[in-house]
Chains A and B, each alone.
Chain A
Amino acid sequence: MIEVRGLTKRFGSTVAVDDLSFTIEPGRVTGFLGPNGAGKTTTLRAILGLVRPTAGTATIGGRPYAALEEPLRTVGAVLEASAFHPGRSGRNHLRSLAVAAGIGEDRVDHALGAVGLTDAAGRRVGGYSLGMRQRLGIAGALLGDPQLLVLDEPANGLDPQGIRWLRDSLRAFAADGRTVFVSSHVLSEIAQTADSVVIINRGKLIEHLPLAELEARAVAGTRVRSPEAGKLLAALDGAGIEATALDDGRIVARTEPPRVGEIAASKGIVLHELTAESSSLEDVFLALTEGE
């Protein structure tokens, strides 16, 4: 659906995106993760034809965005939430886009209804809250009833109810077999929605993997203290469990505490401490992006 090949974008001497390549499969929700300034927005804007790549290509269904015959019917995009004329009403903002894209008036009302803005649609956007603007942006993305949604940090500025609403909306959209590519700098925002994640940092690809695989990396660990540390290390090693001895004499094993206890008991090893130590998905994400 989306194919990014060797994408590089320089702004003066700053390299925003550095030889980035990945493919977004259709019919899935893919999270686009990275810390602030990682190059997510520039990448998304390059995919949408708003930023000219210094090198490489970004295509949708094999074509650059500008070569799409009916772009709004193919891709719906949500970019920054503040990009509205404050003096124009929400409905008129959508109508101006619909007219340009040859989309019927009925779709404007449908999109407003879908994001729950029907009652506020006649008011000037200048009086909208951040959450309402974000909803209006999503309504704009839904105008053409597209097969692909591209969203840049759509949860920014949303309250918890808004985030819940966004999550449900994206799920409903993807449940129809459509494709979602959504960026965030916070993994937890999309962990419940995404099937897979593309992680970038400093413009470079770090990982592109199914979310389940990322979750598998967040396996539980066990911290264990024993007067027979050497013996325990050998026993764990013999059981095929990765274990590391720390400077303070403790051992960290990459498995659940009961398994460590069982192995120690079977070898008659005395334990003084057995503590569960879990790393969250967020820890894994932070380790991936900070390690660079």
Chain B
Amino acid sequence: MTRLVRSELFKARTTRTALGLALGLLAIVLLIVILTAALTKKSPADTLGVQRHREEDILGPLGFAPLFALLFGLLAATSEYRHGTISATLLAAPWRHRVVVAKIIASAIVGVLLGAFVSAVASAVGLPWFAARGFHVDGSGAVRIVVGVVAGSLLWGALGAGVGSIVKAQVPALIGALAWVLVVESLLNGLVPRVGRFTPGGALNAVLGLAHNDDTLSTAAGVALTLLYVAAAAVVGAAVTQRRDIT
């Protein structure tokens, strides 16, 4: 299994996909962080020191990291089918369920790296700047957010590889995932939040600890539910891949 995970990580670093996603994510996050740091107006509550924990505002865009980890996982699993390399992969390692699990583990690792990288840059740029402008920024609160972002990226990287192993067709997988997260879940969260909190995105919200409200699950419940989604995707992905004809 170690060999297979190493092979998947090697594949990840020998194309431009992971780097492209990392740079794209960084660009989006930095843009929002810089605009937030530069343009946020101080309220009287800030001036009086009543408004606390502004790190949630400046580090909020890190919530994009798990989405990009998901995209990476989807691409890692589906590009093998798109380019036909799945044949060579399964000739080198004909134990299909192990290949699926290796992809899930490797995508989780890439998710961690993606989340950690963008968190480090965003924190280094945003937190001192925001603090210097007189907003209250709590160090331990920032660490809590970064841990949530890294954990969320880990879980969603794994989820992407699992779902990608099931769907296999790259374009439908990407469009479907984005439509689900950005449209369906947004609607559910907005209209029926008591249902929405149990969706993958709702569970991720609990993991991230950003934008909490009364309907948000506890962090532990969010992690457990996301793990359940990952496990379900892994089991179905392995079963489907096991039965699939590679033509």
| Partner-B contacts on A (CB < 8 A) | 11, 41-42, 45, 48-52, 65-66, 68, 71-72, 75, 77, 79-80, 82-89, 92-93, 95-97, 99-102, 140
Would you list which residues of chain B between 89 and 108 have a CB under 8 Å from chain A? 89-96
**Are the C-beta atoms of B247 and A45 separated by less than 8 Å?**
yes
The CA of A66 and the CA of B6, in the complex, are separated in Å by: 21
Quick one: which of A45, A49, A83, A96 contacts B11, CB cutoff 8 A?
Answer: A96
**Total number of residue pairs linking A and B with CB closer than 8 Å:** 90
- With contact pairs A45-B246, A51-B246, A99-B7 given, residues A83 and B93 touching in the complex (Cβ less than 8 Å): no
Whole-angstrom distance between the Cβ of B175 and the nearest chain A Cβ:
21
**Are the C-beta atoms of B245 and A96 separated by less than 8 Å?**
no
The CA of A101 and the CA of B79, in the complex, are separated in Å by: 20
Quick one: which of B10, B16, B84, B90 contacts A49, CB cutoff 8 A?
Answer: B90
**Which B residues are CB-close (under 8 A) to A66?**
94-96
Quick one: which of B15, B17, B84, B92 contacts A101, CB cutoff 8 A?
Answer: B92
Whole-angstrom distance between the Cβ of A7 and the nearest chain B Cβ:
14
Whole-angstrom distance between the Cβ of B12 and the nearest chain A Cβ:
10
- Of chain A, the residue at the smallest CB distance from B11 is A96
Quick one: which of A51, A79, A82, A84 contacts B245, CB cutoff 8 A?
Answer: A51
Q: 16 additional contacts, CB 8 Å, given A51-B246, A77-B91, A100-B7?
A: A11-B247, A45-B245, A45-B247, A50-B91, A50-B245, A50-B247, A72-B91, A88-B11, A88-B15, A93-B85, A95-B10, A97-B89, A100-B3, A100-B89, A100-B92, A100-B93
The CA of A48 and the CA of B95, in the complex, are separated in Å by: 12
- With contact pairs A51-B246, A96-B7 given, residues A83 and B94 touching in the complex (Cβ less than 8 Å): no
Quick one: which of B17, B94, B247 contacts A71, CB cutoff 8 A?
Answer: B94
Quick one: which of A48, A85, A102 contacts B91, CB cutoff 8 A?
Answer: A48
**Are the C-beta atoms of A97 and B15 separated by less than 8 Å?**
no
- Of chain A, the residue at the smallest CB distance from B99 is A100
**Are the C-beta atoms of A99 and B94 separated by less than 8 Å?**
no
**Are the C-beta atoms of A65 and B94 separated by less than 8 Å?**
yes
Whole-angstrom distance between the Cβ of A234 and the nearest chain B Cβ:
58
Q: CB-CB contacts of B131-147 with A at 8 A, as 1s and 0s?
A: 00000000000000000
Could you list some 24 contacts between A and B, CB below 8 A?
A45-B247, A50-B87, A50-B90, A51-B247, A65-B94, A66-B96, A68-B94, A71-B91, A77-B91, A80-B87, A85-B11, A85-B15, A85-B83, A85-B85, A87-B15, A87-B17, A89-B14, A92-B10, A97-B7, A100-B6, A100-B92, A100-B93, A101-B3, A101-B93
**Are the C-beta atoms of B89 and A49 separated by less than 8 Å?**
no
| Partner-A contacts on B (CB < 8 A) | 3-4, 6-7, 10-11, 14-17, 79, 83-85, 87-96, 243, 245-247
**Are the C-beta atoms of B91 and A84 separated by less than 8 Å?**
no
**Are the C-beta atoms of B87 and A79 separated by less than 8 Å?**
yes
The CA of A11 and the CA of B91, in the complex, are separated in Å by: 22
- With contact pairs A45-B247, A50-B246, A100-B7 given, residues A83 and B91 touching in the complex (Cβ less than 8 Å): no
**Are the C-beta atoms of A140 and B88 separated by less than 8 Å?**
yes
Whole-angstrom distance between the Cβ of A51 and the nearest chain B Cβ:
5
**Are the C-beta atoms of A99 and B10 separated by less than 8 Å?**
yes
**Which B residues are CB-close (under 8 A) to A79?**
87-88
- With contact pairs A66-B94, A71-B94, A88-B14 given, residues A82 and B84 touching in the complex (Cβ less than 8 Å): yes
**Which B residues are CB-close (under 8 A) to A82?**
84
**Which B residues are CB-close (under 8 A) to A80?**
84, 87
**Which B residues are CB-close (under 8 A) to A77?**
91
**Are the C-beta atoms of A86 and B246 separated by less than 8 Å?**
no
Whole-angstrom distance between the Cβ of A101 and the nearest chain B Cβ:
4
The CA of A75 and the CA of B14, in the complex, are separated in Å by: 26
**Which B residues are CB-close (under 8 A) to A87?**
15-17
- With contact pairs A72-B91, A82-B84, A96-B7 given, residues A52 and B245 touching in the complex (Cβ less than 8 Å): yes
**Which A residues are CB-close (under 8 A) to B246?**
45, 50-51
The CA of A51 and the CA of B92, in the complex, are separated in Å by: 15
Quick one: which of A41, A83, A89, A99 contacts B85, CB cutoff 8 A?
Answer: A83
**Are the C-beta atoms of B83 and A84 separated by less than 8 Å?**
yes
- Of chain B, the residue at the smallest CB distance from A41 is B247
- With contact pairs A51-B247, A66-B95 given, residues A92 and B84 touching in the complex (Cβ less than 8 Å): no
**Are the C-beta atoms of B247 and A83 separated by less than 8 Å?**
no
**Are the C-beta atoms of A97 and B88 separated by less than 8 Å?**
yes
**Are the C-beta atoms of A49 and B92 separated by less than 8 Å?**
no
- Of chain B, the residue at the smallest CB distance from A85 is B83
